Structure 1
Amino acid sequence: MAVSPTELLDIARTVATEAGELVARRRREGVTVAATKSTSIDVVTLADRECEEFVKARLAQLRPEDGFYGEEGGDSTGTSGLTWIVDPIDGTVNYLYGIPQYAVSIAVVEGNPDPASWKQAVGVVNNPAADELYFASKGGGAFLLTGGKQQQLHVNEETDLAHALVATGFGYSSEVRAIQAQRLTHILPAVRDIRRAGAASLDLCAVAAGRLDGYFESGTKPWDHGAGSLIAREAGAVVGGLYGAAEGESMLLASNKYLFPEIEKLLIK
């Protein structure tokens, strides 16, 4: 990687902050649904599209040789070997309803935007409604900037599964949800409680910050976890799929080293 992680992180933080200001302003002005995707409840707002176009344009100015991979399309291949993976608004349904649990997620990886092969370099997740900017670089630790104060993040060291607070998420199709609900019947009796906040990037950051002891979800895409999974890892979490696989669409699991195998056992029942 020709450019330093510090430089990439500075760019990612700057652009994520600017994009967060944009989506927060559009939220105050009123949200308009632009289209639906996989199902009628899987919505895209005009702000999703505007934010992704804004981020892509800013990165084209600052890093024109890099690739781009965004949730709303418009992907491009660069020449540097680096790819920016962007979710302009993770938690769009929350955003639509005015629930302050949505984020701009920006990651930089070496290689293709595929968690099975990429090398994560930088991750930034900005929740503008809560004034929380999470960020990490490979080998540099994970941090939260809020209220002008910065703190390093560390996962909880909970070892008892029965005391674990665990989050999950659900897909948009009824068939997928039925499978996810069945899986939940194995998890819920074994843990302290379950949370469903509606934004994968922020769930991963919550694990990093010790607000959750674990998080799992199937059906996620690279833009959902490209940044958050690095932040969780740099805070000490184990992040992956099942049976030693990388995290991906079949399963994304994040927890500390003690609870990860315990949760995994329940997920493969």
Structure 2
Amino acid sequence: MRAVAVTVAAEAAAHVRARRRELFGSDPTVEVGAVRTKSTITDPVTIADTESEDLIRRRLTQLRPGDGFLGEEGGGDAATGEFRVRWVVDPVDGTVNFLYGIPAFAVSVAAQIDGLSVAGAVVDVTTGDTYSAAAGRGATLTTADGTVTTLRCTSVTDVRLALVATGFSYDADRRAHQGRLVAELLPRVRDIRRIGAAALDLCMVAAGRLDAHYEHGLNPWDWAAGALVAAEAGASLRLPAGFGADGELAVAAAPGIADEFLTLLTEIGADAPITSRRR
């Protein structure tokens, strides 16, 4: 299943990379009909998202007939029931970055059994780097030139020295709350990054490029592959039980600061779900 995830995610990433050149070229404007919005006016989905998901679903049907499917754009099958294995897919994680040409967007593909990720891959579309993992078998980074590196989290032991990533909701109420939490957290860690693609954030924790990541309101497709990569690289995890609308907290942290970081999040009030007043 890890090999399938790598193959399918790489194929979709190649498609997304080519589509961005076709849609944009050197012009930041996009063809009419190439972009629409989802939950709010600031939450976009592009034709590349839907095409990528369609490609992934077709390939998984060929390679893993009989498995279930859950995609960000098209939904899919139930988590349990007739499907022993369910594939959880984010066809373009970091769509806003994709639109603006910021080189931080990825394709995420994971296989889950009973809601737990057992294999997955995250492909950085811009670089071609592939992060992958299988449960109990470690995590690796394979660069575009074929160099393979085993991933391990940093050895940081003091949360004051932690470089922390986070993300923000498209909902204005939630975003305001998240901003207040950042203001509380920032003086108590090394610094904060907002990269804009949760799957890549989680993989960067695995690669030691970040010490921790936390975010409210992630959906399964946001973390299914990246969280497995982080866990197999040694990270401590706290994952949501449901979907993004529940506003639950997701955390991945290097093992040397995990307990201290969770305590800090509790102290600033970040351990509770953040839901929209408009729900």
Q: Which amino acid aligns with 1:187?
A: L
Cα deviation, residue 88, structure 1:
0.1
| Structure 2 residue aligned with 1:223 | 221
CA contact (8 A) 1:239 1:247 kept: no
Partners of 2:4 and 2:41 in 1: CA distance:
35
Partners of 1:159 and 1:189 in 2: CA distance:
17
Q: Which amino acid aligns with 1:216?
A: Y
CA contact (8 A) 1:247 1:253 kept: no
Residues 227 and 210 of structure 1, relative CA distance in 2, 3 Å threshold: same
Cα deviation, residue 247, structure 1:
8.7
Give identity over the alignment, percent.
47
| Structure 1 residue aligned with 2:6 | 13
Aligned partner (choices 10, 14, 18) of residue 25 of structure 1: 18
Partners of 2:241 and 2:254 in 1: CA distance:
16
Alpha-carbon displacement from aligned partner over 1:104-127 (angstroms, at most 9, x marks no partner): 00000002xxxxxx2221010001
1:187-198 correspondence to structure 2 within 5 Å: 187-198=185-196
Cα deviation, residue 263, structure 1:
1.9
| Structure 2 residue aligned with 1:124 | 121
Alpha-carbon displacement from aligned partner over 1:227-265 (angstroms, at most 9, x marks no partner): 000000000000105xxx769741011112231222222
| Structure 1 residue aligned with 2:110 | 107
Partners of 1:41 and 1:185 in 2: CA distance:
23
Partners of 1:139 and 1:246 in 2: CA distance:
22
1:33-182 correspondence to structure 2 within 5 Å: 33-76=34-77, 79-111=82-114, 118-146=115-143, 147-182=145-180
Matched position secondary structure for 2:76:
coil
Residues 74 and 178 of structure 1, relative CA distance in 2, 3 Å threshold: closer
Aligned partner (choices 181, 184, 200) of residue 183 of structure 1: 181
Q: Which amino acid aligns with 2:37?
A: T
Matched position secondary structure for 1:148:
coil
Cα deviation, residue 186, structure 1:
2.1
Q: Which amino acid aligns with 2:43?
A: D
Matched position secondary structure for 2:195:
coil
Question: For structure 1, which runs of at least 5 residues remain unmatched after alignment?
Answer: 1-7, 112-117
Of 24-33 and 140-149, the range deviating more from structure 2:
24-33
Cα deviation, residue 38, structure 1:
1.1
Partners of 2:4 and 2:95 in 1: CA distance:
24
Partners of 2:226 and 2:12 in 1: CA distance:
17
| Structure 1 residue aligned with 2:273 | none
Cα deviation, residue 266, structure 1:
2.4
The count of residues paired between Structure 1 and Structure 2 equals 253
Partners of 1:131 and 1:36 in 2: CA distance:
27
Of 29-38 and 119-128, the range deviating more from structure 2:
29-38
Alpha-carbon displacement from aligned partner over 1:29-88 (angstroms, at most 9, x marks no partner): 115443101110100000000000110011111112000000002413584410000000
Per the normalisation by structure 1, the TM-score is 0.90
Matched position secondary structure for 2:107:
strand
Cα deviation, residue 10, structure 1:
1.1
Partners of 1:188 and 1:246 in 2: CA distance:
27
Partners of 2:187 and 2:241 in 1: CA distance:
27
CA contact (8 A) 2:20 2:98 kept: yes
Q: Which amino acid aligns with 2:105?
A: Y
Of 56-65 and 29-38, the range deviating more from structure 2:
29-38
| Structure 2 residue aligned with 1:3 | none
Matched position secondary structure for 1:157:
coil
Partners of 1:151 and 1:170 in 2: CA distance:
30
* RMSD value, Cα: 1.6
Matched position secondary structure for 2:126:
helix
CA contact (8 A) 1:219 1:251 kept: yes
Per the normalisation by structure 2, the TM-score is 0.87
